[in-house]
């Protein structure tokens, strides 16, 4: 296994690779070199540059040896987390390592990460490349003239070298407003390994250089020919360099100065207050106004019109001299909105008068530019929402209205299409009048409507066609999903099964299918409705996404579908490796009549596929055996934990999508984890082409919804995907009323004197080092400190790793023993989750000896058969016992309902990860109330962070989900407060 990493090497994005296989054969360290101290050593697991180029599919790419700062020992660097290897390095330090790398041109480099997202660095660079593409596509770029002395804007040094030239013509991104917020998030989320070159710099600086390089390369890709074929003047030479292959050109100070002013105006930083523009609509006349005002940057509700500013009003929250702030802001804004110059011809400008055409220009052109540049913009409520569109009405034919299960995609329905403005339909005569007026803003039945020639022409074409009659349900569905960019579908009024399908409520409308014969279980009512929905989509040749909440029985519902169909053609089920055994057990238990074959491992035999009803394989095997799987006929392809294919560019997602089948089913509890592109990827598997191309989806849905919170786009996307996604929640009592309750309790544990002493020693030692460090070294020290403090909270022996006794030295362990004794005394079972495998290894024998009860231990290093045997014993053995589990190895995919107690021994700061682990017990099949306890050492880092989570929930959900790296950017004083040990925490 080869893992590719991306690192910014000052003059371009470089790629190096690490051999992820067992490193037992790693070369021994060079003693002489080790004695020389700081001299960089070759990375023992690095792949040669030629191998990196081969993995990436690159030819004739420049090679280079990089020196990277990586944590490790004198012998070897720590292996990347993606390798899954455990390191014996107890106290890693940052050291320089030499790695062979390839550094392709920026135009090539920005295409690479999307196809190789196996590491955190490559996933991050893929996001940066997407950000650059989005900025270029939206025109958020400006030209610049850069003297060589000001630094590098990307590409390779050779590309920029031009001895006879004084400057470079480049394109730079304009990052303001929401884009600036996303830039900051990208910088904070940048893995340290992305910027670990010898000349390591802050993540924001590295990100700026990379974004500049990618933006310049992308713009040049879109320009096929130079703007000036035969440059004569200096300005012509700059334009030619700006639009050609060679950016070198002479320096023109006057031009450079104007361009810099343009750049400063476009990217002006937001201060305590900003200029705001408010569009005011007229009552009955054509007299529109743009009111000028000052607005607090951090509190948009603090809005002071310019007239009050000029009157001398002093408002708390605004600058001491608001007049100066207002004039300065207006001076910057006039560069983006030249029409504003008319308002600035008076000493105290307060408003800009416009006619209807001018108001329309402000809406469509000026407002987006001003808002993107950081200015405040307030528009009427109807702006961007109330547009001309269509209303679709369908009625099921009378003779089939009562036959729900027999409804097919070729069934005829009556339909009618009307023109609509918002909630109001308009007649052809009204439309003709609108077209005659030829004005972009008109008042229709009391509300203003934005129109343009494109929409009007589309509407006129619509009324000329067939607006009523009969059509097949398939044609209606296709029209709804595809929609019309020029004339959107604003409303649907449909009855019967088609109406329920279009509303996303088909599973409630369809007659539930009773538990099929051959299924050794009794389906719940919502599962019967889900089975009817799945069968209905299958009969129509449509795919679906079963997105029920974790624990509601997606597995048994899928098995029921297979038993109900009794097909002679097998179903292919693709799932993570950790779930293969679970599917085998569930199929044997609930559907013993199904012939199940597991296509995985060294003994797999393709001949067994034809003799099976259900073929289970993993995502990795499906990718490796793609050609074999494509040769077989499949009834359907099922993807379990379908978030594994949420990145459409990965090889495994492409492989699974390419396996032909008449029906597809995606099973996932989280169809959207981070952004809407994940939904597109999963839907592209279930119903290929239904949502159009990825770029069209991004333009039509993702960008309007995520960037502008466009409600109309959100409704359209829900309408397009609703028929094919079924999601029910455990918290919905109308879905499942007999699931036991879940009680969550925080257990506050004191530190022993030994723990408190160790804790304070770690804080004192590490804070001194942190205060004297910077960059990646500082981040590494902060993360190391956090890990050490959490280990101290668990047990002194966990930090010291000296094999010393455990009894009587840890307040947390003492409380865990008490809880375990109480649970076992009640004759019950418990799951104990820890994020540290080494601590689990310490707990298991200790608790088994102290409690004289079985204590099982499951971690990532166990083979599959051993894992299955442990799970089977825990579920079937009636004896009370404990199950210690590694959070990462057992947090998903296991059914452990024999336990009704869950203890999180050490906290993981992502609530979703803890909830997934808890749901091993809190799921269907659980008959007792589930008690969840989270052990927290009082007065320590654990309490500090818990307080932050509780106090800033919104921020925690957005930031803490990425792990603990958000703490690494706090100042030393802030870290001291976070790490502070209070007296209350010591017993």
What pLDDT score was predicted for residue 831? 95
Alpha-carbon distance of 679 to 706, in angstroms, equals 13
Residue 575 has pLDDT above 80, yes or no: yes
What pLDDT score was predicted for residue 32? 46
Alpha-carbon distance of 953 to 956, in angstroms, equals 5
Nearest CA to 393 among 440, 421, 355, 425?
Answer: 425
Q: What is the largest CA-CA distance in the chain?
A: 92
What pLDDT score was predicted for residue 631? 92
Alpha-carbon distance of 706 to 142, in angstroms, equals 24
Alpha-carbon distance of 154 to 13, in angstroms, equals 9
Q: Which tens digit of pLDDT belongs to each residue from 513-532?
A: 899 999 998 998 889 988 98
What pLDDT score was predicted for residue 193? 82
Q: pLDDT grade, residue 952 (50/70/90)?
A: very low
Alpha-carbon distance of 433 to 867, in angstroms, equals 73
Domains 506-726 and 742-985 belong to one CATH topology: yes
In Å, how far from its chain's centre is CA 48?
Answer: 32
What pLDDT score was predicted for residue 901? 94
Rg, Å, the chain Cα set: 32
Window from 404-418, 828-842, 867-881 with minimum mean pLDDT: 404-418
SS3 at position 62: coil
Alpha-carbon distance of 652 to 641, in angstroms, equals 13
Helix (H) or strand (E) holding 205: helix 203-222
- Pairing mode of beta strands 725-726, 544-546: parallel
Q: CATH top-level class for 742-985?
A: alpha beta
Window from 360-374, 413-427, 592-606, 941-955 with minimum mean pLDDT: 941-955
Helix (H) or strand (E) holding 786: helix 775-794
Count CB neighbours of 224 within 10 A. Answer: 7
pLDDT above 90 covers what percent of the chain? 21
Backbone angles phi, psi at 319, to 5 degrees: -60, 155
In Å, how far from its chain's centre is CA 147?
Answer: 38
Give the CB-side neighbour count of residue 810, counting CA atoms within 13 A.
Answer: 27
pTM flag (> 0.75) = no
Mean pLDDT, range 286-312, rounded to an integer: 84
Question: Looking at per-residue confidence, does 439 or 393 come out higher?
Answer: 393
Per-residue buried b or exposed e for 349-359, using 16+ beta carbons within 10 Å of the residue's own CB? bbbbebebebb
The two structure tokens encoding residue 59: 């030819």
The two structure tokens encoding residue 421: 């403005």
- Pairing mode of beta strands 41-42, 93-102: parallel
Q: CATH top-level class for 506-726?
A: alpha beta
SS3 at position 196: coil
Q: Which tens digit of pLDDT belongs to each residue from 120-146?
A: 888 889 889 989 988 888 888 888 888
What pLDDT score was predicted for residue 360? 86
Question: Looking at per-residue confidence, does 658 or 236 come out higher?
Answer: 658
Give domain limits for the chain.
2-140+175-222, 273-378, 388-503, 506-726, 742-985
Alpha-carbon distance of 533 to 774, in angstroms, equals 57
Nearest CA to 498 among 574, 412, 601?
Answer: 412
Alpha-carbon distance of 658 to 329, in angstroms, equals 54
The whole-chain average pLDDT of the chain stands at: 78
Count CB neighbours of 28 within 10 A. Answer: 8
- Pairing mode of beta strands 288-296, 351-354: antiparallel
């Amino acid at each position: 296994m080869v893992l590719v990493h991306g690192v910014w090497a000052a003059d371009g994005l470089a790629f190096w690779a690490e051999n992820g296989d067992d490193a037992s054969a790693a070369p021994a360290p060079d003693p002489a070199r080790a004695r020389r101290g700081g001299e960089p050593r070759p990375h023992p697991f690095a792949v040669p540059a030629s191998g990196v180029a081969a993995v990436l599919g690159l030819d004739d790419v420049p090679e280079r040896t990089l020196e990277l700062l990586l944590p490790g020992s004198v012998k070897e660097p720590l292996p990347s987390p993606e390798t899954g290897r455990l390191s014996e390095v107890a106290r890693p330090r940052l050291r320089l390592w030499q790695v062979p790398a390839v550094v392709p041109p920026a135009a090539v480099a920005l295409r690479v990460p999307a196809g190789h997202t196996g590491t955190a660095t490559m996933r991050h660079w893929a996001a940066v490349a997407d950000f650059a593409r989005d900025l270029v596509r939206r025109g958020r770029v400006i030209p610049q003239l850069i003297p060589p002395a000001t630094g590098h804007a990307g590409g390779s040094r050779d590309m920029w070298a031009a001895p006879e030239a004084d400057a470079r013509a480049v394109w730079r991104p304009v990052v303001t407003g929401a884009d600036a917020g996303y830039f900051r998030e990208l910088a904070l989320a940048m893995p340290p390994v992305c910027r670990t070159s010898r000349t390591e710099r802050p993540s924001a600086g590295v990100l700026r250089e990379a974004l500049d390089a990618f933006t310049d390369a992308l713009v040049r890709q879109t320009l096929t020919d130079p703007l000036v074929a035969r440059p004569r003047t200096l300005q012509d030479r700059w334009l030619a360099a700006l639009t050609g292959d060679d950016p070198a050109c002479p320096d023109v100070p006057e031009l450079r100065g104007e361009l810099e002013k343009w750049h400063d105006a476009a990217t002006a930083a937001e201060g305590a207050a900003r200029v705001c523009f408010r569009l005011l609509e007229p009552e009955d006349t054509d007299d529109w106004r743009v009111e000028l005002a000052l607005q607090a940057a951090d509190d948009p509700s603090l809005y002071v019109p310019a007239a009050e500013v000029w009157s001398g009003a002093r408002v708390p929250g605004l600058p001491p001299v608001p007049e100066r702030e207002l004039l300065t802001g207006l001076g910057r804004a006039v560069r983006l909105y030249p029409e504003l110059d008319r308002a600035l011809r008076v000493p105290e400008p307060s408003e800009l008068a416009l006619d209807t055409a001018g108001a329309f220009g402000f809406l469509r052109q000026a407002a987006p530019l001003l808002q993107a540049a950081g200015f405040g913009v307030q528009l009427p409520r109807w702006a961007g929402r109330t547009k001309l569109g269509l209303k679709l009405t369908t009625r099921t034919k009378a003779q089939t209205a009562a036959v729900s299960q027999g409804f097919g995609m070729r069934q005829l329905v009556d339909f009618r299409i009307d023109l609509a403005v918002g909630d109001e339909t308009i007649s052809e005569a009204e439309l003709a009048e609108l077209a005659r007026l030829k004005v972009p803003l008109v008042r229709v039945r009391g509300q203003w409507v934005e129109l343009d020639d494109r929409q009007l022409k589309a509407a006129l074409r619509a009324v000329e066609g067939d607006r009523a009659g009969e059509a097949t349900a398939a044609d209606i569905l296709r029209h709804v999903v595809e929609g019309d960019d020029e004339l959107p579908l604003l409303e649907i009024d449909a009855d019967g099964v088609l109406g329920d399908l279009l509303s996303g409520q088909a599973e409630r409308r369809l007659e539930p299918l009773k538990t099929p014969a051959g299924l050794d279980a009794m389906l719940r009512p919502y599962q019967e409705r889900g089975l009817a929905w799945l069968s209905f989509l299958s009969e129509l040749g449509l795919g679906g996404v079963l997105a029920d909440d974790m624990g509601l029985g997606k597995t048994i519902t899928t098995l029921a579908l297979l038993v109900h169909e009794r097909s002679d053609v097998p179903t292919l089920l693709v799932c993570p490796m950790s779930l293969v055994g679970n599917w085998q057990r569930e199929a044997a238990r609930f559907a013993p009549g199904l012939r199940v074959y597991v296509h995985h491992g060294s003994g797999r035999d393709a001949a067994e596929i034809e003799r099976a009803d259900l073929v289970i394989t993993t995502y990795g095997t499906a990718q490796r055996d793609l050609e074999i799987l494509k040769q077989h006929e499949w009834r359907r392809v099922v993807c379990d934990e379908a978030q594994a294919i949420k990145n459409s560019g990965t090889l495994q997602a492409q492989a699974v999508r390419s396996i032909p089948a008449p029906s597809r089913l995606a099973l996932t509890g989280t169809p959207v984890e981070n952004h809407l592109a994940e939904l597109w990827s999963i839907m592209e598997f279930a119903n290929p082409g239904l949502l159009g191309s990825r770029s069209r989806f991004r333009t039509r849905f993702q960008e309007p919804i995520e960037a502008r919170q466009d409600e109309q786009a959100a409704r359209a996307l829900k309408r397009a995907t609703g028929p094919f996604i079924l999601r029910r929640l455990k918290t919905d009592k109308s879905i499942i009323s007999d699931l036991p309750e879940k009680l969550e309790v925080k257990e506050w544990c004191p530190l022993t004197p030994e723990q408190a002493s160790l804790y304070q020693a770690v804080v004192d030692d590490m804070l001194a080092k942190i205060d004297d460090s910077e960059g990646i070294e500082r981040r590494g020290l902060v993360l190391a400190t956090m890990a050490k403090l959490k280990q101290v909270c668990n047990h002194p022996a966990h930090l010291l790793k000296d094999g010393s006794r455990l009894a009587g030295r840890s307040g947390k362990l003492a409380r865990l023993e008490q809880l375990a004794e109480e649970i076992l005394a009640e004759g019950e079972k418990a799951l104990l989750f820890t994020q540290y495998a080494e601590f689990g290894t310490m707990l298991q024998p200790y608790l088994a000896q102290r409690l004289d009860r079985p204590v099982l231990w499951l971690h990532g290093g166990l083979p599959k058969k051993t894992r299955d045997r442990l799970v089977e014993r825990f579920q079937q053995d009636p004896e009370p016992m404990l199950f210690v589990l590694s959070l990462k190895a057992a947090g998903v995919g296991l059914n452990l309902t024999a336990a009704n107690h869950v203890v999180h021994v050490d906290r993981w700061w992502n609530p979703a990860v803890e909830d997934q682990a808890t749901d091993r017990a809190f799921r269907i099949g659980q008959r007792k109330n589930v008690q969840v306890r989270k052990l927290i050492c009082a007065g320590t880092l654990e309490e500090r962070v818990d307080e932050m989570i509780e106090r800033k929930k919104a921020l925690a959900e957005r930031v803490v989900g990425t792990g603990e790296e958000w703490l690494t950017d706090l100042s030393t004083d802030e870290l001291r407060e976070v790490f502070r040990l209070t007296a209350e925490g010591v017993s």
